[in-house]
Amino acid sequence: MKTLIIYYSDSGSTKIMAKTLSMNLKADIIEIKDLKNRKGTVNKFLSSIDAFRESKTKISPEKIDLTSYDLIYVGTPTWANKPAPAIITLIDNCNWSGKDVILFTTMNNNGSDEPTLERLEEKVRMRGARVVERFSLNTKGKSAENIINDTERIIQTLVLKMYSGA
């Protein structure tokens, strides 16, 4: 079974999680880049508004050919209880028909990622995917080592290797 991990990361936490998943599950990995400037206080605030409104953004790569993958992980940070605009844009740009998907999010607050996961699931299901698992990780105040350890615990707890045959 061929597995792909697609992610967008702003602060680096989602990237650490995605790379840990990729190494442990022997999966290909693609980082989505948002071409809009999201750095600085004002741009962070505007990014939250973009996420809340589910505004599209210019991304690279613009589209990914998913045909050779059986299982696809999609990862995003949570902004304003929504997925980042780069991931919303990517989902809308790709053909998800018949794909098994595992969704993951990171958050840097004490709230819940459930609204983000629900919206991601709704978006990929509307495009023909089947969500087989979903999870989130609160990364607030955690070191890279803690994020790696927590991700490895999630892999074991949810028995993610059974999905990818790793």
Q: Output the average pLDDT for the chain.
A: 91
Work out the average pLDDT over 139-164.
93
pLDDT of residue 163: 82
Percent above pLDDT 70 for the chain: 96
Selection from 86, 61, 65, 73 nearest residue 20 by Cα = 73
pLDDT of residue 138: 93
Domain that holds residue 110: 3-164
Checking if the pLDDT of 111 tops 70, the result is no
Tell me the pLDDT tens digit for each residue of 23-81: 999 999 999 999 888 888 877 777 677 777 778 889 999 999 999 999 999 999 988 88
Selection from 1, 21, 162 nearest residue 104 by Cα = 21
147 or 36: whose pLDDT is higher? 147
pLDDT of residue 40: 80
Question: CA–CA separation, 57 vs 76, rounded Å?
Answer: 15
pLDDT of residue 130: 97
What global pTM score does this model have? 0.92
Looking at the structure of the chain, the number of domains it has is 1
We report the CATH number of the domain holding residue 22 as 3.40.50.360
Enumerate the H helices of the chain as residue ranges.
13-25, 41-53, 85-93, 114-126, 144-157, 161-164
Checking if the pLDDT of 126 tops 90, the result is yes
Backbone region of residue 137 per phi and psi (left: phi > 0; alpha: psi in -120 to 50; beta: other values) = beta
pLDDT of residue 76: 96
Contact 51, 79 (CB under 8 A): yes
Selection from 92, 107, 85 nearest residue 33 by Cα = 85
